[in-house]
A and B are shown apart, each in its own frame.
Chain A
Amino acid sequence: MNVVESFGLGVSYRGTWALRDCTLAVPEGHIVALVGSNGAGKTTLLHCAVGLTAPTTGEVTVLGGIGAGLPDALERVAFVAQETPLYRHITVRAMLTVAANMNQHFDRNLAEARLATLDIPLDRRIGRLSGGQQAQLALALALARRPDLLVLDEPLARLDPLARHEVMAVVMSAVAEEGLSVIFSSHVVSELERVADYLILMSHGRIQMVGMIDDLLSKHVVLSGPTDDAERVAELFAVVQSQHAGRQTQFVARIDASVEFPKDWVAENISLDELVLAYLREPSATAMSGPLAVSANRAGR
């Protein structure tokens, strides 16, 4: 079962496309990192998946074909929005009551237990909680719904490193205990590497790279060698990005197992950070795992 599927998905705001031609299938059981620069369309894609935004073109389904935003989907998909908007004028306890009464299945004991672990007082107004506590509260509310799919939009953006670590620990433990699928967007690539096993990279409203992180990392290398030979080597590999420094040239390239590395060139493993940056710097480059052939095209070539 795919937890999210989209076909030709596009969203236009007054003539400007925030999302365009997104066809995607995210399998269940993964922690999916949705990465992209500002304005890449991450939030729009997530809003489509949770039914907050209706597509201008195409369609999006969740959990094996349920239309996003339909009652069955709402019951099984939990969403924590950017900046965790909650009712700031009410107490944590009242917020738990609100969430419990808005959902057919809400495990209040689970939510209270999580909040107790985090020392978040139930009688405090939400507006008086710290940013980290508000994020934890929003996450506890979402997890207490026992969703099949948890969608988090920039959950770490406002948090200090300690709070980030704690939030991700809660997500990881929920995944381990309940086996739910998680999609979360973030700018902090280094922290994604530890928790996510699946990557979606977006740029300018389109999906640029998607696949299992291990698979993507194993199929990309950093190649370093003499600039004189760079043009010939570039013909052999799908070069995502190149950098020239005097006599030395460095490529981030997608490799094929059958291709041998040229003499005088050094191939090094690539980190997720480097891979993401390389693709973000070359918005026209794409890499898709699955049945479609992967292409890597450089702008200007």
Chain B
Amino acid sequence: MTTTVASSSVASRDHSPSGQRVSWLRLMHVALIQHRAALITIFVAFVTLVIAIVIGRDAVSASYASYLAAGCTLAHPIDLQVCANTANQYADIPSFTPLVIALRLFPLVIGAFVGAPLVAREMESGTYRFAWTQGVGRTRLVLVTLAMLTLIVTPVAVVLGFLLGGWYIHPYAVINIAVGSHWQSGLFTTTWWMTPVWTLFALTLGTLVGAVVKRTVAAIATTMVIVGGVLLAVGLYLTRIFDIGAVASSRIFLNGMNSGPLSILASHGQGPAGSWLARAWYTGPGGHVLGIKAANRVSLHVNSLFESKGGASLAPRWLALHHYTYWVSYQPADHFWILQTVVGLVLLAVASLCVLGTVRIIQHSRS
């Protein structure tokens, strides 16, 4: 089937030469208009969390003031009973856990309610047929929109991370470092660095899910499940992450010499100051690692020795006599930011893959 008809001559309109494109700033303006609802979502989530942190910090500050007034510090407790009472009072402040959870959920909210609808809504409503046939082109449009949202979401998440991990948690870290340790799962994932990284991860993942699913509500639900699942998995398996680059020592003896994950802050000389004890295990006479049952048997015996008079010295002696060694792996204090960087870079790499995947889907998308 071929048709050829002599063409007439019609002057072309004055279009720009090839290569001259719509500026990024103008496209940012488009994205601002198109995604007002998303921006409102970010703003509302931000303001809500800031208010919650400020109110929570009020209660913390009152206890902190009374702690300081009693002359207590972590290093020099004057009156141990008063200091212990105040420290316990800290643990009861109700805002701590909900705030940590809320900040951990912030990326999920952004991923589900900002990222997921980004492409899905265009596909569902059919407006992609308008947007993707304009001079700007679909790939640039999506990339600019993502860039704009990234520029807005990142500082918001950094501020929230600072507020919780630096400002709000500071008194906890002074009074009871075990409660306020940034190595804890909740605080490890909500620092000023990890909060924006998680948020970008969720945002890009949500966008990718939206491009795949092409339905807004389904994309929101799928994103919630995936991001929630990843957050949960990282929380549950953080001890495995803390195995990366951990230092093993046979000179650390704990009160309860159990094997398995520890997740406690080194204190009272049990490990280097500020280090996070990750895992413990026993090795037998041949140097091999004991299985769970064998390790439990040894552990039960050693712990019973601890309960007896002079147990602190009896236990190591008994272990040496029977050629058992108690090993503890720990993350030194100066590994904290290295691990933060590693985990953050992995998440950013996944986020980059999500962006690439989204672009690929959009480029090959068929109406």
Q: Residues of A at under 8 Å CB distance from B? A: 1-2, 11, 13, 21-29, 43, 47, 50-54, 63, 71-72, 74-79, 81, 83, 85-90, 94, 97-99, 101-105, 138, 145-148, 178-181, 206-207, 210-212, 286, 288-292
Q: Return the contact of B1 from the options A24, A54, A148 (Cβ within 8 A).
A: A24
Q: Report whether A86 and B366 are in contact in the complex, using a CB–CB cutoff of 8 Å.
A: no
B10 to chain A, nearest CB (A): 4
Contact between chains at A86 and B5 (CB < 8 Å): no
Among B125-133, B200-208, B262-270, B299-307, the one that faces the other chain is B125-133
Please state if B1 and A102 are interface contacts (CB–CB under 8 Å): no
Q: Which of A27, A77, A99 contacts B8 (CB 8 A)?
A: A27
> Which residues 212-234 in B have Cβ within 8 Å of A in the complex?
none
Q: What is the number of contacts between chain A and chain B, taking CB atoms within 8 Å? A: 158
CB pair B33–A94 under 8 Å, yes or no, is: yes
Q: Is the CB of A207 within 8 A of B29?
A: no
Count how many chain B residues have C-beta atoms less than 8 Å from C-beta atoms of the other chain.
Answer: 44
In the A-B complex, the 8 residue pairs with the closest CB atoms: A102-B134, A81-B129, A85-B126, A103-B135, A101-B26, A27-B7, A29-B8, A79-B133
Most buried by B among A21, A101, A147, A286: A101
Q: Which residues of B contact A148 (CB under 8 A)?
A: 10, 12-13, 15
Binds A, one of B16-24, B162-170, B272-280, B317-325: B16-24
Candidates B3, B128, B130; contact of A289 at CB < 8 Å: B3
Q: A105-B135, A207-B1 are in contact. List 14 more A-B contacts (CB 8 A).
A: A24-B1, A25-B5, A27-B5, A28-B10, A50-B133, A53-B367, A74-B135, A79-B129, A88-B125, A89-B37, A97-B33, A102-B22, A103-B135, A212-B5
CA distance A211 to B367 in the complex (A): 28
Residue of B nearest to A178 (CB): B13
Instruction: List 24 interface pairs A-B (beta carbons < 8 Å), by A numbering.
Output: A22-B1, A23-B2, A25-B2, A27-B8, A43-B367, A50-B133, A53-B366, A74-B136, A75-B135, A81-B126, A81-B130, A85-B129, A90-B33, A94-B33, A97-B29, A102-B136, A103-B134, A103-B135, A146-B15, A147-B13, A180-B10, A180-B13, A290-B3, A290-B5
Given contacts A54-B366, A104-B135, A290-B4, contact A98 B30 (CB under 8 A): yes
Is B79 among interface residues, defined by CB-CB distance under 8 A? no
Interfacial chain B residues near A97, Cβ < 8 Å: 29-30, 33
Query: Do A85 and B125 contact each other (CB < 8 Å), given the known contacts A98-B33, A101-B22?
Result: yes
The answer on a CB contact under 8 Å between A23 and B1 is: yes
Among B3, B127, B129, the residue within 8 A (CB) of A52 is B129
Is A101 touching B133 in the complex (CB atoms < 8 A)? no
Contact B130 A85 (CB under 8 A): yes
Q: Quote the shortest CB–CB distance from A283 to chain B (angstroms).
A: 14
Which of chain B's residues have a CB closer than 8 A to the CB of A26?
3
CA distance A180 to B2 in the complex (A): 23
- B37 to A: closest C-beta gap in Å: 8
Known: A13-B366, A94-B33, A101-B29. A288 touches B2 (CB 8 A): yes
Q: What chain A residues lie within 8 Å of B131 (beta carbons)?
A: 102
Chain B 22-43, CB within 8 Å of chain A: the 1/0 string?
1000110110011001000000
Chain A: CB-nearest residue to B129: A81
- Give the Cβ gap from B237 to chain A, nearest Cβ, in Å: 39
CB-contact partner of B141 in A77, A88, A102, A211, under 8 A: A102
Q: A3 vs B14: C-alpha distance in the bound complex, in angstroms? A: 17
Check: B137 CB closer than 8 A to any chain A CB: yes
Q: How far is the CB of A286 from chain B (nearest CB, A)?
A: 7
B34 to A: closest C-beta gap in Å: 7
Residues of the A chain whose Cβ atoms lie less than 8 Å from the Cβ of B10 = 28-29, 148, 179-181
Q: Which residues of B contact A54 (CB under 8 A)?
A: 364, 366
Alpha-carbon distance A6/B323, docked complex (angstroms): 82
- Chain B residues near A23 (CB, 8 Å)? 1-2
Measured CA separation A211–B2 after assembly (Å)? 11
Q: In the complex the two chains form, what is the Cα distance from A180 to B4 in whole Å?
A: 19
- If the complex has contacts A74-B137, A101-B22, are A291 and B15 also in contact, measured as CB distance less than 8 A? no
- Minimum C-beta distance from A57 to chain B (A): 14
CB distance from A63 to the nearest CB of B (A): 8
How many angstroms from the CA of A89 to the CA of B33 in the assembled complex?
A: 10
Q: State in angstroms the CA–CA spacing of A43 and B367 once bound together.
A: 10
CA–CA, A252 and B140, complex, Å: 52
List B109-135 residues whose CB lies under 8 Å from chain A.
125-135
Interchain CB contact under 8 A, A210 and B3: yes
Q: Is B6 an interface residue (CB 8 A)?
A: yes
Chain B residues with CB under 8 A of A71: 18, 21, 135, 137
Q: Which of A28, A72, A102 contacts B30 (CB 8 A)?
A: A102
Q: Which residues of chain A are near B12, meaning CB under 8 Å?
A: 63, 76, 148
B151: Cβ under 8 A from any A Cβ: no
Chain A residues with Cβ below 8 Å from B14 are 105, 146
